[in-house]
Amino acid sequence: MPTGAFQPTADYAEQLDQEDNLSRYREEFYTKPDSIYMDGNSLGLLSKRAERTLLESLADWREHGIDGWMHGAHPWFTLSERLGEMSAALVGASPEEVIVTGSTTVNLHQLAATFYRPQGDRSKILADELTFPSDIYALQSQLRLRGYDPETHLVRVKSRDGRFLEEEDIIAAMTDDIALIILPTVLYRSGQILDMKRLTEEAHKRGIPIGFDGCHSIGAIPHAFSEWGVDFAYWCNYKHLNGGPGAVASLYVNRKHFGTMPGLSGWFGSRKDKQFDMEHTLTPADAAGAYQIGTPHVLSLAPLIGSLEMFEEAGIDRIRRKSLHINHYLMDLIEHELGDFGFYIGSPREDERRGGHVSLEHPEAARICKALKQNGVIPDFRAPNIIRLAPVALYNSYSDVWEVIRILKRIMEEKQYEQFKNEREVVA
């Protein structure tokens, strides 16, 4: 990426765009000329390739009917496995360790039901207080199903400042009564990356299985799940991977656990050659496919085919390099242009600790987000005071970032936000 000294000018942003070796992918997405999309860490934009592969799958249904399971452009029977293979490089796994299936929370239920094995005094689950609420709801449910009280058996590591987690605090909580650990790869509010390698090593020293929620990291940063020995992981595919609203999610299971009976069984977890024998004894697949439950949602899988083609071409390392650089540029602009307006950057400044978005804190954040939308900028609000901005490597430009900060400065100078209530919309 460019190494020239930062300049807070439109010309400098244009220079960075000219030097961007991923800029051609912007034309692959449906962007609006009168809008700047900065919410790709909540829902990625539609690409022309994702649209094409969805329409191809519709055509398979139209042309082949039920024979689309085995014929057509994208046969449905093995589509989840095919997409798992296409995803494997993004998480540092072998193809058979990844399957595209279910939803994020359903996959967490599956993995917790499989890997949570309370014995004697070792019966608690370790999580953290900053994780996404759906994960907590699922873990509370799993504890109740086993007859445990979530108030006593779900341990949540505290944050020292409400923004970040310290790995030392997490490790200190890995006590003899912990039976399972579930942590985020990237904190959804601040964008902090946890040291997954270190945490996995420390968990395994104590004989505790550990899994990660990768919703805010997959497609934005490289991973090495297999090398690190991570036991399992799960993530959505509609954020950085641009799979579409409600896209089918993914899970990873380390090959050392192949052969472990799924905690929640269903017929799509069968070995493929046995699935239609209709026996009442499950013969699980001998890979991550065993952790599928029901029939895949084909039309919510199909856009991922085109999207993942782009990730294979661009490469996660190039994507990460641009993401780091454009987010650093965003933070430089914030500090240079918005210093008089009470903003605080609530994301790590160190590249190795920051994911794919920047959290900008302000007491009037909800009102400011509404003013940004009125001015054609699509941000993301997280209560009580966070504006999340996510310049996405494949479709956001440096000129986008420069324009966003120019608009935000004008909003603050003119106090445009004061016309709005400082409360979130129904969908924040």
Output Rg (C-alpha) for the chain, integer angstroms. Answer: 22
Asked if residue 299 and residue 200 are part of one domain, the reply reads yes
* 3-class DSSP assignment, residue 176: coil
Distance of CA 204 to the CA centre of its chain: 24
251 and 382, same domain (yes or no): no
> What does each C-alpha distance from 88 to 70, 105, 218 come to in angstroms?
23, 20, 11
pLDDT surpasses 60 at 413: yes
Phi, psi of 183 (to 5 degrees): -135, 155
What pLDDT is recorded for position 424? Answer: 83
Could you tell me which residues come within 8 angstroms of residue 131 by beta carbon, excluding any fewer than 6 positions away?
A: 156, 182, 183, 184, 187, 188, 213
CATH at residue 240: 3.40.640.10
Whether 307 and 336 map to the same domain: the answer is no
3-state SS assignment for residue 278 = coil
Q: Could you give the number of structural domains in the chain?
A: 2
**Is the residue at 39 inside a domain?**
no
pLDDT for the residue numbered 195? 98
Q: What residue has token string 């930062």?
A: 6
Could you give the CA distance from residue 328 to residue 54 in angstroms, rounded to a whole number? Answer: 35
Alpha helices (runs of H) in 36-194, residue ranges in sequence order: 48-64, 79-91, 104-115, 133-145, 150-153, 167-172
Q: Which of 160, 135, 168, 139 is nearest to 151 (CA)?
A: 139
**Residue 4 predicted with pLDDT over 70:** no
> Does the pLDDT of residue 3 top 60, yes or no?
no
Tell me the CATH number at 319.
3.90.1150.10
In a domain, 44, yes or no: no
Mean pLDDT, residues 337-356 taken together: 97
> Residue 5 domain-assigned?
no
Residue type, 303: P
Residues 253, 143, single domain; the answer is yes
**Residue 425 belongs to some domain of the structure:** no
Whether residues 188 and 244 share a domain: the answer is yes
Q: Are 172 and 199 in contact (CB under 8 A)?
A: no
**End of a domain among 261, 287, 313?**
313
Domain identity same for 159 and 58: yes
74 and 26 fall within a common domain: no
Cβ atoms 387, 368 nearer than 8 A: yes
Domain limits for position 69: 51-313
Q: Which residues are annotated as a binding site for pyridoxal 5'-phosphate?
A: 104-105, 132-135, 213, 216, 238, 267, 295
Residue 426 pLDDT more than 90?
no
Inform me whether the pLDDT recorded for 397 exceeds 80. yes
Task: Say if CB 276 and CB 254 are below 8 A apart.
Answer: no
Binding site residue list: 104-105, 132-135, 213, 216, 238, 267, 295
How far does CA 65 lie from the centroid of its chain? 34
**Is residue 226 one of the residues assigned to a domain?**
yes
pLDDT at 428 > cutoff 80: no
Could you say which of 290, 313, 336 is where a domain stops?
313
Is residue 418 scored above 70 in pLDDT?
A: yes
pLDDT tens for residues 349-371?
Answer: 999 999 999 999 999 999 999 99
43 belongs to a structural domain: no
pLDDT at residue 423 greater than cutoff 90: no
CA atoms within 13 A on the CB side of 315: 6
| Mean of all residue pLDDT scores within the chain | 97
Query: Would you say 208 and 181 are in contact if contact means Cβ atoms under 8 Å apart?
Result: yes
The answer to whether residue 37 scores a pLDDT higher than 60 is: yes
Comparing C-alpha atoms, which of 264, 239, 254 is closest to residue 107?
Answer: 264
321 and 297 in one domain? Answer: no
Residue after which a domain boundary falls, among 256, 279, 313: 313
Q: What confidence score (pLDDT) does residue 278 get?
A: 92
Yes or no: say if 347 and 335 are a contact pair by the CB < 8 Å rule.
no
- pLDDT computed for residue 427 by the predictor: 80
> Same domain, yes or no, for 207 and 147?
yes
Distances (CA, A) of 259 to 85, 96, 270: 19, 13, 12
In the predicted structure, residue 131 carries a pLDDT above the cut 90: yes
Q: What is the pLDDT of residues 144-153, one digit of tens each?
A: 999 999 999 9
Q: Tell whether the model's pLDDT for residue 336 goes beyond 70.
A: yes
Q: Does 1 score more than 60 pLDDT?
A: no
Residue 341 lies in a domain: yes
Residues 194-234 have pLDDT tens digits of: 999 999 999 999 999 999 999 999 999 999 999 999 999 99
The vertex-240 CA angle with 58 and 225, nearest 5°, equals 105
Is residue 100 very low, low, confident or very high in pLDDT (cuts 50, 70, 90)?
A: very high
285, part of any domain:
yes
Q: Could you tell me if 86 and 166 lie in one domain?
A: yes
* Residues 202 and 153 reside in one and the same domain: yes
Residue 302 corresponds to which tokens in the numbers above?
Answer: 């199909």
Same domain? 271 vs 367 = no
